[in-house]
Amino acid sequence: MKAIVCTKYGAPELLKIQEVAQPVPKKNEVLIRVRATAINDYDWSMVRGKPYLYRLMFGLGKPKRQIPGMELAGTVEALGPNVENLKIGDSVYGDISDYGFGSFAEYICIHEKAVVKKLETMDFHEAASIPHAALLALQGLRMGKIKKGYKILLNGAGGGVGTFALQLAKHHECEVTGVDTGKKLETIKSMGFDHVIDYKKIDFTRNKQEYDLILDCKTNRNPFAYLRSLKQNGRYVSIGGKLHRLLQILCYKKFISFFFKRQLQILSLKPNQGLDTINELYSQGKLKCIIDGPHAFEKIPELITYFGRGRHTGKIVAIL
């Protein structure tokens, strides 16, 4: 089978498509024929081995797992021993990161609990775009105690998380401001944001606007800067960003909560938890997948760089 293989850290464009042995499912595993996959921050960091601290997880000298990829949609082709909830022919999708990686390949063996059954009305490329980004949005908004009528700011509004978060916030009848730049601004305006901020022209932490909830995909400021943009008892939720800023939030969040009556939190994603809610909204036509692509599988190396430079709108998806 063909797969994107990473044997050493470096520029994503150096990745090659190689022929590797097709895996055989072990106990509780299923063999999945991958139909679509998506690009995530994990891939951008893992392939380059940066930030360097992440190599404690990825592998010090070279990647421990040589096939990247953490989201997929596909078809069950074979079953290992003791598989209970899936059968051959089932269409499935999921964020597989709790059980492993390797979705940048024609086939993957993964624990049956790493995926859920796909809705029949959902295309494979749509399904691949959902698990990670949609649940970062859903779990992040829930952590922020979203309520009807909230005034919400989404930083990094044009990416996969931002596009799902907008739709979920509108489902709660919230007033939503999106922060991004470039060509994405026109796109997110047309999606239904109430207000749009170009971060190259305006610093949202200094425009004297206050929000009940900030969902941040970037986390690139000093934690105390966000206090200017939060109402009293407001909540800031980071779903990822600069490592040193995340560490600062961990250090200061209790101090800020006690003295400033505002909450700064970091979401630790629980993969696939909440997909039932996402599926219900999708079935009702209340949630749409905003996809950059679908692109050809062979373009994944350049798509990882494209992702890292933040040029995409919505979720980057590749099909096999």
Residue range 4-21: mean pLDDT, rounded:
95
What is the DSSP pairing of strand 195-198 with strand 29-38?
Answer: unpaired
Residue range 70-74: mean pLDDT, rounded:
98
132-266 folds as Rossmann fold (3.40.50)
Instruction: Answer yes or no: is pLDDT of 99 > 90.
Output: yes
pLDDT single digits (tens) 151-165 = 999 999 999 999 999
Residue range 17-30: mean pLDDT, rounded:
97
Residues 67/5, Cβ–Cβ less than 8 Å: yes
Rounded Cα distance, 290 and 211, in Å: 25
The letter for the amino acid at 29 is E
pLDDT single digits (tens) 184-209 = 888 889 999 999 999 999 999 999 99
Domain residue spans of the chain: 2-130+290-319, 132-266
pLDDT single digits (tens) 43-54 = 999 999 999 988
Tallying the residues shown for the chain, one arrives at 320
* Domain 2-130+290-319 in CATH 3.90.180.10: yes
Rounded Cα distance, 320 and 313, in Å: 21
Residues 122/146, Cβ–Cβ less than 8 Å: no
Mean pLDDT of the chain: 96
